[in-house]
Amino acid sequence: MGVAVVTFPGSNCDYDCYKALREVVGVEASFVWHRERSLGDARAVVLPGGFSYGDHLRAGAIARFSPVMEAVIEFAAAGGPVLGICNGFQILCEAGVLPGALVRNDSRQFRGETVRVRVETSDSLFTRDYEPGRILRLPIAHGEGGYVADEATLDRLEAEGRVAFRYVDARGRTTPEANPNGSARGIAGILNEARNVLGLMPHPERAVEAVLGSTDGLPLFTSLARALEANGRGAPAARLRRGDGAGEAVEAVVR
């Protein structure tokens, strides 16, 4: 199967992710419906953006209990690569796969625009093709994108280099004006402890071709593709922790 793109009722970026993976990067990808209880032979998983279950109760709160999520949680715990974009990030936090939560934008308005984010680490299979410090232009489209966590969690994310992306201005500064949703410390994306799960609010799949106005999201998908290729088609997903091609087994702790 290659990469499983999970579709929930209300997903609207599943095809964008599918196209970015299959047509732009050339990675095998298939859709998996939320009612499925198995990911089959998937070697990576993408939870796309959208409004799963209409964002009732809270963004991602119902999707977290979809039948497929038990398989996703087990897959992540075994070290399998999992990417959550926008609503996918919200779902991963609701499921406890990633720490913290996404809350209503501080403006109390839906924000749909292009923002700048800075790459904070290349030490993951999702960001290996980026240079740390590179400033990207990526689209956002969310009403509940403010990342929050207690200070101890935020300090741990910073100390462990698990902040993957941060909102910045054109000069690379973290300012209130550059932060579109009030996220703590300008955080736009984070990794889990094992670095095999990434959640981010911006949409890299909408910035993979020049015709879309930016290709700044493309390295995220080429990073994943290179990691999968380096480990070979027969390699179990649990061995795909980092993008260094080593294929070393890991004991993934998902928090």
Residue 70 annotated in active site: no
Per the residue annotation, which of 13, 17, 86, 93 is the catalytic one? 86
Cα distance between residue 69 and residue 65, in whole Å: 6
Rounded CA separation 237/107 (Å): 40
Is residue 205 among the annotated active site residues?
yes
Of 94, 120, 144, 205, the catalytic one is: 205
- Catalytic residue check, 203: yes
Cα dist from 18 to 31, 227, 245, whole Å: 8, 18, 24
**Which amino acid, one-letter code, is at 51?**
F
- Cα–Cα distance for residue pair 50/251, rounded to 1 Å: 31
Residue 231 tokens, joined? 């480990």
Distance, CA of 124 to CA of 104 (rounded, Å) = 28
Sign for the CA dihedral angle at 162, 80, 36, 6 comes to positive
Which helix (H) or strand (E) segment holds residue 153: the answer is helix 151-159
Nearest of 93, 83, 87 to residue 27 by alpha carbon: 83
> Which amino acid type is present at position 67?
P
Q: Which of 13, 93, 120, 203 is catalytic?
A: 203
Distances (CA, A) of 227 to 43, 222, 231, 244: 11, 8, 6, 7
E-only strand ranges, 75-196: 82-85, 101-103, 111-119, 135-142, 146-148, 163-167, 187-191
Residues designated catalytic: 86, 203, 205
